Structures are given as structure tokens and as C-alpha cells.
Amino acid sequence: MVKKTIYSLALSAMLLLSSCGNGGLLGNLLGLGTQTTNNTGSVLGSVLGSVLGGMAGSGGGLLGGMLLTDNSSTNLTDMVVGNANISKNDLVGTWIYAQPGCAFTSQSTLVNAGGATAANQVKQKLSSTFKSLGFASNNTGFAFDQNGNFEGVLKGASFNGTYTYDPSSGKLNLKTSGGTIPMYLTRDGNGMAMTMDSKVLIGVLQALNATGGNSIINSLATQYNGLRMGFDLAKYK
């Protein structure tokens, strides 16, 4: 029921945002453009802002001169939703955008799609799109604390709230004042992928006034059954 509800919200947002900009339904859901005060502790608030701000001159894909992620260490089965074995303790901390991410809903959908080759093709097609839309490691990231609070920054637009996470299914629900955003966590290289259904991703992009990726996202979702798309994230240490 929650999944159907959020998909309906995202679809409605596509229509509302075309005339309302960030003031539409999903813009409210994310809380984009709002000023908030976060007193949830050392992981959130000023820490995430300081990390992203300190990377402003890093070139978008580098952190301290090191690549954010190493895809060579990715286990293929870890790209299947529910297989990654990411604990809540693993999730807690500050995560920085590295590149587009993807996952599949089952082992069979991954194999049928073409395995690692398909995953690489998806990321390559999303890479130029996400870059043109403005996603970079100096303006996009997430932070989670042990008490169930989170903060997110997408293309410099911040939002926050609480989260629930089920390690057995990999399901991550980001709860804001406007509603719940369903996401899925899988492992990718030395970091993790935070992905979502294509309709939700398109709704998020529209909330950011970044609609240029709609066609490629729809095309990939049609081409690959059970595909989830989103962000590869590297943990900041």
C-alpha cells in the first residue's frame, strides 16, 4: 500500500511540477528549498554541509585526491535488492555521491538483463545524463544517525526527516514532513547504491527542475525488467 501510494504521489507530481516548479507535490514531499534547523547530533546538519562545502573545488568525482568508489570489488549478487546484507550500523554516517547507481529486484532479473554488462551499460547511459543535470560529489549526499534521523542534499537542495531501514529486504524509507520516499540499498564497490523505482526517480528529478533525464530513465526501465536506478554513494571518513 505504501509503495502504491508513493508511486501515485510521484506520478501526480510530474503533472503538478510542470506548472508549479519546486512548489509542487513532490517538492513539498522532499522539502526542497526550505530552511530547516537540525539538532540531531554530530553526524547530521553542519557536518554534511561542511563535507560538501569542502569539496567544492574537488572536481566532483574526487575526495582528497582519491576515487570515491571502486567498482572492481562489486559482487554481482550484491546488486540484487535484499542480498547486500547492509546493517543499520553500516548505514550510519555521511555518504557522498560518486556516480549513478543501479540494482535489480531479483537474481533472475539481473541474469536475464545481462549481469554485470547490463549494470555497466545502465551506469554509462545515466552518467552523462546525471552530469548534465548537475549531480556531483560536492553538491549531493546523505547523512544518517543512530537515532533514525537523516539529512539529504540533492544538487544543493536540502531536506531532512527520519528514516526506517529493514536490512533483510534492503528497504529504506525516508520520512519527511510531506510523506515517505521508498528506496533500496545494495552494495556497490566499496560503497553502497541507493536506488528507487524509475517513476519515483523521475519525480525526484522533476522536483529539482531536472527533467532532461526522463527519456533515458524511461528507456532503461523499459529495456531492463526489475531495474532500480539512483546513486552510488561513498562513505566519508
| Spatial CA neighbour of 191 closest among 71, 104, 64, 77 | 71
Q: Residue 30 pLDDT more than 90? A: no
Give the residue carrying C-alpha cell 510530474.
14
Average pLDDT over residues 122-142: 92
Host domain of residue 198: 2-36+73-235
pLDDT bin (cut points 50, 70, 90) of residue 205 is confident
Domains: count for the chain? 1
**Of 53 and 25, the one with more pLDDT:** 53
Q: Where are the alpha helices (DSSP H) in the chain?
A: 2-20, 25-30, 46-54, 88-91, 107-113, 115-133, 198-207, 214-223
In a domain, 46, yes or no: no
Rounded mean pLDDT of 31-51? Answer: 48
Evaluate whether residue 43 is within a structural domain. no
More confident of the two residues 45 and 107: 107
Closest CA to 228 of 133, 106, 104: 104
- In angstroms, the first-to-last Cα distance of the chain is 37
Provide the pLDDT for residue 60. 40
In a domain, 51, yes or no: no
Query: Is 7 within a domain?
Result: yes
Q: Within a domain: residue 42?
A: no
pLDDT per residue over 85-104, tens digit each? 899 999 999 999 999 999 99
- Which residue would you say has higher pLDDT here, 48 or 208? 208
**How many angstroms separate the Cα of 140 from the Cα of each of 68, 189, 198?**
13, 19, 19
Q: At residue 16, does pLDDT exceed 50?
A: no
Q: Cα 62 vs. chain centroid, distance in angstroms?
A: 19
**pTM of the predicted model, to two decimals?**
0.76
23 in a structural domain: yes
Asked, for residue 50, whether it belongs to a domain, the answer is no
pLDDT-above-90 percentage for the chain: 43
Residues 173 and 150 sit within 8 Å (Cβ to Cβ): no
Give 208 or 232, the one with higher predicted confidence: 232
Strand partners of residue 235: 95
Q: How many angstroms separate the CA atoms of 162 and 149, rounded?
A: 4
The verdict on residue 140 lying in a domain is yes
